[in-house]
């Protein structure tokens, strides 16, 4: 047996870890990891520069939002709302039952709560009293 700890991960070995977990998990749910569909939504300005965006993926009939970003100069213009509306519409088209996301305590929890997302838990092991808040919305 040999253990390796590295800061230069092997894409091949990391994929093998994911594949093993996927194979194990697939015996418990009929919707498969193979059904993973990425989703990216971009908002660009008139100069074709990115000013806001959202990345996510759907699997197991749930849309998992990874990142939502709005340029500091464009905040307050409802771009985040546009991104979330589009993501929710796409989740419904994909047959998703809900959406899950997380947001750091200094980020956008009130924004998501206004949109009907419920707080379901947190990880509060981060420094400076920061927590990662987990949220969901049933569709």
> What pLDDT, on the 0 to 100 scale, is given for residue 88?
98
Report the topology of domain 36-138: Aminopeptidase (3.40.630)
CA separation for the pair 44, 130 (Å, rounded): 31
Q: What is the pLDDT of residue 35?
A: 73
**Biggest alpha carbon distance in the chain?**
57
What does the block give as tokens for 118? 């419920």
* Cβ(73)–Cβ(90) below 8 Å: no
Which residues, in sequence order, are CB contacts of 105 under 8 Å at separation 6+? Answer: 122, 129, 130, 131, 132, 133
Strand partners, 133: 103, 122
One digit per residue, pLDDT tens: the chain, 139 residues? 999 999 999 999 998 998 888 788 878 877 655 578 999 999 999 999 999 999 999 988 999 999 999 999 999 999 999 999 999 999 999 999 999 999 999 999 999 999 999 999 999 999 999 999 999 999 9
The reported pTM is 0.84
Structure tokens belonging to residue 119: 């707080």
**Helix residue spans in 5-78 (DSSP H):** 11-26
């Amino acid at each position: 047996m040999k253990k390796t700890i590295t800061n230069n991960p092997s894409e091949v070995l990391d994929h093998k870890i994911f594949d093993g977990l996927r194979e194990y998990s697939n015996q418990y749910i009929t919707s498969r990891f193979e059904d993973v569909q990425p989703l990216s939504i971009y908002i660009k300005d008139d100069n074709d520069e990115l000013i806001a965006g959202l990345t996510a993926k759907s699997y197991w009939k749930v849309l998992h939002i990874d990142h939502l970003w709005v340029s500091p100069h464009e905040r307050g213009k409802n771009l985040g709302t546009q991104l979330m509306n589009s993501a929710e519409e796409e989740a419904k088209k994909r047959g998703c039952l809900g959406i899950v996301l997380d947001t750091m305590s200094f980020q956008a929890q009130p924004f998501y709560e206004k949109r009907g997302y419920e707080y379901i838990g947190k990880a509060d092991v981060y420094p400076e009293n920061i927590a990662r808040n987990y949220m969901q919305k049933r569709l």
